[in-house]
Amino acid sequence: MKYTVETHGVGYTETLEFRGKTYQKEYERDFSGMLTQDKDFWEQMEADGIHDENILDAVYENIDHSLSSFNMFVIADELE
């Protein structure tokens, strides 16, 4: 498993690699904050055929609903 956050001028991209598959969420800043049109990783994984509740719950709790990716964006924004 590999999880990365890449910041860019108007937002950031989260990427999760799991069992040879790649899942992404793109966030962009607008007047109300950071928004994405992408489904949570656990939803993408479930749609891809992963039905192990322990895995999906762990991804939900520790990645999808973590503020770490947003925090990386804030840090990068401050450093620019």
| pTM of model > 0.85 | yes
**At 51, which amino acid appears?**
H
The amino acid sitting at 58 is A
Q: What is the pLDDT of residues 48-60, one digit of tens each?
A: 999 999 999 999 9
Residue partners of 40: CB distance under 8 A and separation at least 6: 25, 60, 64
For 25-38, what is each residue's pLDDT tens digit? 999 988 888 899 99
Q: Strand, helix or coil at 62?
A: helix
Nearest to 63 by CA among 74, 73, 53, 55: 55
3-class secondary-structure state, position 44: helix
